[in-house]
A and B are shown apart, each in its own frame.
Chain A
Amino acid sequence: MIVENSEVILSVKDLTASVEGTPILKGVSLDVKAGEIHAIMGPNGSGKSTFSKVLAGHPSYEVTGGEIRFKGENLLELEPEERARTGVFLAFQYPLEIPGVSNLDFLRVAYNSRQKHKGLEELDAFDFDELVQEKLDIVKMNASFLNRSVNEGFSGGEKKRNEILQMALLEPTLAILDETDSGLDIDALKIVANGVTQLTTPENAVILITHYQRLLNYIQPDYVHVMEGGRIVTTGGKELALELEERGYEWVTEPEATEARV
């Protein structure tokens, strides 16, 4: 929801970044305020996923210019784990499998690292178990998932739901969902979308990165940005997504096509 005069959570200016020397982001600027949901769409290879990883601080991506401020703080000075603890959450496109580490332990350690950072009490195994049971409902997950190794042997949909469960526990200020809809059947998509909607408050913000507008049927964005060639080339309201669905990306990314439309 767009809230008048709400706080700017994320402010990105002229961000450029490269991976192994190849420039991917070529000047991204974006402001995200509390309460807002932003969708970033665009064709494959446009830089959407790179943008999400750069925000989270993935070490393979080198920031070559521009700035990122998160709640007024220079995000680029923080290590990935510090960014996470201050409230940046990335739901992975391909959540990793961690054999031998139970999902419950992983969630608890993650939760407690956040608590510690905030100066709040860390929960022991028993209290945490109670907390996590409540959150399971949000993503309609069975408690048996907690005792399995992190994402190991999970189906695509289960992995994505597990990501949203983590989001529910960590209560991030900024949640970036990187193609969370990819590989989901319609039921799983509804569960995930419903989970995200429940977790949205006037105090936090969400960036949805998606290739298709399908997810946006269930999560209503306030802004839709189209990314192409490492830049945001168009910004509009939720109706932009529908138009993209109908007409493809070319009419916004190819100048001639755009002219033809006019």
Chain B
Amino acid sequence: MTASVRTLVNQPYKYGFITDIESEAIPRGLSEDVIRLISAKKNEPEFMLEFRLRAYRHWLKMTEPTWQRATYPAIDYQNIVYYSAPKQQEKLGSLDEVDPTLLDTFEKLGIPLSEQKRLTNVAVDAIFDSVSVATTFKEKLAEEGVIFCSISEAVQKYPDLIQKYLGSVVPVGDNFYAALNSAVFSDGSFVYIPKNTRCPMELSTYFRINNGDSGQFERTLIVAEEGSSVSYLEGCTAPMFDTNQLHAAVVELVALDNAEIKYSTVQNWFAGDENGKGGIYNFVTKRGLCQGVNSKISWTQVETGSAITWKYPSCVLVGDNSVGEFYSVALTNNRQQADTGTKMVHVGKNTRSTIVSKGISAGRSENSYRGLVKIGPKADGARNYSQCDSMLIGDTAGANTFPYIQVQNNSAKVEHEASTSKIGEDQLFYFAQRGISAEDAVSMMISGFCRDVFNQLPMEFAVEADRLLSLKLEGSVG
């Protein structure tokens, strides 16, 4: 055990406050009645209730997966509150009617929603526990025909689109958590980009869990019509509770001919304390369908929070010449566990995919990359390049790489590279001997390590991500 690389200590989690707001929640537990209640509360059309019930019936027959490299006590699904909403006026006409407490909450999180203070050129959908509280720049986007609203609103206003695409990429019975989400999801964002439209601004959803007993089950659906393009970013935080909250989201992306979707995530859910008490269980299904020719879906994720992260943003490359990308930085510290990666499924001809995964493990955390590259029999000329790098800080963290490669076409070309590096006492001493402090040394090494991924993030968020990682490791060495 080295003397100077001490156990890594997190910067106190600065998003850990709780908003005191009266909320309306339904009793704990899950049953058909609860699902009917959620659906009724949201005044949903019949097809949505059917969708939910179908999912629920699947879920009842499914068992919780155990293959991921993470250990946690059994989750009692009957002890979770499946719907929680801040009490406020129904039917908001404008942002002025949003409860000021909520606006303050988001302002504190660095997401100003009021007209004057908004982030320029970024439209935000703010989701608090189970519901969307505000969406900015809606009218401006509507001028271009872009739809950006909460998924509840979309169910009411655009049922045809929802019925056509919801569950088309992640079917209701896809996996245990996707089925659960399909049964009980309460809100999320919906994006629709019409033909040949380039979305004029960044779209962003900010998720905030506030209620200590509620799970968050959000649903995001993005549809990019032929020749359109959009860049979308989601951010997440939660208060510090000493219990665990379940977050089981489903994200579906559909890209038609020549369309492009760029989806970025900066995830900073509460990670639990240094002994692993509390924190979010982040069990998420994210999948993009490159349905059209020459379409492209690009996932970029910076995963720094959650007690357990378990997600594999994937691309199904159906359209010929379509492109899938996955760029990921996953940082784990203390007792965090992350099992994350991607699936690239090549179906069409000349489909290409790139995977760049960077795992940083500190403290006593476990960080695993798990990825599948599958080349189908008809995917002539398909190509994949994967690069998985791990960095260990100190000598008590774990890093694993589990690449799965399945090739059914002889003309395919698949490359996989992996490396492991370490920030240990000797590296830090080398920096120190040149007059560079341990904190600066770690930050330089981490920035360098993550550069390939941060370069993929929208400008404003790349800086934010860099800062976030430094903060997470601050005070970690010395």
Binding site for B on A (CB under 8 A): 56-60, 79-81, 84-85, 89-90, 92, 95-96, 98-102, 105-106, 109-110, 113-114, 117, 149, 166, 170
Contacts and interface: CB of A to CB of B under 8 A. Distances in A.
B417 to A, nearest CB: 13
Chain A CB within 10 A, most for which of B4, B430, B433, B448: B433
Given A100-B449, A101-B448, A80 B432 contact: yes
Contact of A59 (B425, B436, B448, B449): B425
A67 to B, nearest CB: 21
B60 interface: no
Contacts of B448: 98-102, 149
Contact of A99 (B3, B425, B449): B449
B464 interface: no
A102 B438 CA distance: 17
Could you say which of A99, A101, A170 has the most chain B C-beta atoms within 10 Å of its C-beta?
A: A101
B444 A101 contact: yes
Contact of A113 (B4, B429, B430, B434): B434
A100 B433 contact: no
Contacts of A56: 429, 433
A58 B435 contact: no
Interface residues of B, number: 25
A100 B438 CA distance: 16
Contacts of B2: 59-60
13 contacts: A59-B3, A59-B429, A84-B435, A92-B430, A92-B433, A96-B430, A99-B421, A100-B451, A110-B435, A113-B434, A117-B435, A149-B448, A170-B434
Contacts of A170: 434-435
Interface in B415-432: 419, 421, 425-427, 429-432
B95 interface: no
Contacts, number: 76
Interface of B: 2-4, 419, 421, 425-427, 429-438, 440, 444-445, 447-449, 451
B433 A90 contact: yes
Given A60-B2, A101-B444, A106 B429 contact: no
A109 B435 CA distance: 8
Nearest to B423: A98
B436 A81 contact: yes
A106 B435 contact: no
A92 B429 CA distance: 11
B429 A98 contact: no
B451 A59 contact: no
A60 B437 CA distance: 17
A205 to B, nearest CB: 17
